Amino acid sequence: MGDRPNGPVMVAMSGGVDSSVAAAILQEAGHEIVAVTMKLWGGESDTGCCAVSDVDDARRVADQLGIEHHVFNFGDDFERDVVAPYAADHAAGRTPNPCIECNRHLKFDRLINRAEALGFVRIATGHHARIVPTARGSRLARGADPGKDQSYVLHVLDQSVLDRLVLPVGSMTKTDVRRIAADMGLRTATKPESQDVCFITNQHGRASFLGDRIPLRPGTVIDTEGHEVGSVEAVELVTIGQRKGLGLAGGTDPRYVIDIDPASAVVTVGERSSLDTASTRLESWRWFDEPSTGSVDVQCSAHGVPARGQIDVVTMTVRWDQPHRRIAMGQSVVAYSDDMVIGGGIAARP
């Protein structure tokens, strides 16, 4: 945003240390800021960023900084655009990324629309990613701290969002963020990291949550030759690469889930080598700049190690340079050139 104020900034404060420091940095730079916290999940939360205590923490940090704080209730939107699709994906045998859908629909759609309606020219968050100006416009790049980089979960943001977004901590390490918070005496300085899925509690777990929303059906486990070798209590809870909870007889070599057929409630397992594949089918792929015809870095989970592969949009596949572990259907696949996000899509059924 430069060194001089450029209109009011709405800072999304989750109640964590990153967004707290983001607000403090912008205030110190002389920007007119207002803090907002999105109330998204109305149920129990003990692992994520939507607990009542998080709203309280955000409010108290705003009080420390002497800035206005407001709470926006987007609970109905969250249920419709994140929670309901999460349950539906599991019913269809997919492994969804609810945090990505929350970013897509809530944090960078509903929030930006609300900000514009209230006269804010920019929004800011505490995400660890960077926005880089290029000849073709703003582009998303990895954060400075490799261990905290969140560009993967932000890859769905388009040009219009990036042009209005400020990421004050993206060029800092997490250690630097906590040091600044401690130096300022912010109450969130030592607050633990939140987990990904805010609506799944440690106490009740995913099975209980989904069981209240979709039918959970027992499934049959077969090997690659079609022999029945085990069973699962709910095929909707199984994911590619899973090893435990498959009802397999002891004393055999480890076997992993290599395919799930939700229609027939059949799970196929194989040896570790059976997880390797030469290509991965894609859906909903889009390039954010010029299409790349050569090998690029491809990341398939929030903190996964990128692998080299070529994106073929004619056949809608990633052709891996080296055999790659199968990716669960529904997971995001994000392409990078150096540290910059250049494309993204979703893994489809093999």
Examine the residue annotation and report whether 102 is marked as an active-site residue of this protein: yes
Instruction: Give the Å distances, CA to CA, from 147 to 33, 49, 98, 151, 294.
Output: 29, 19, 20, 12, 27
CA distance 203 to 39: 21
Instruction: Give the Å distances, CA to CA, from 345 to 104, 127, 311.
Output: 13, 21, 10
Structure tokens, 28: 């110190």
From 50, 99, 198, 300, active-site residue: 198
From 49, 50, 102, 300, active-site residue: 102
Examine the residue annotation and report whether 300 is marked as an active-site residue of this protein: no
| CA-wise closest residue to 283 among 339, 218, 333 | 333
Instruction: Taking the CA atoms of 122, 125, 130 and 136 in sequence, report the sign of the dihedral they define.
Output: negative
CA distance 78 to 244: 31
Per the CB < 8 A criterion, the answer to whether 44 and 68 are in contact is: no
The SS3 of residue 21 is helix
Instruction: Taking the CA atoms of 179, 180, 181 and 186 in sequence, report the sign of the dihedral they define.
Output: positive
Q: Could you tell me whether strands 307-312 and 296-299 are parallel, antiparallel, or unpaired per DSSP bridges?
A: antiparallel
Give the CA diameter of the chain. Answer: 68
Residues in the chain: 350
Instruction: Taking the CA atoms of 54, 57, 62 and 63 in sequence, report the sign of the dihedral they define.
Output: positive
Give the residue numbers marked as catalytic. Answer: 102, 198
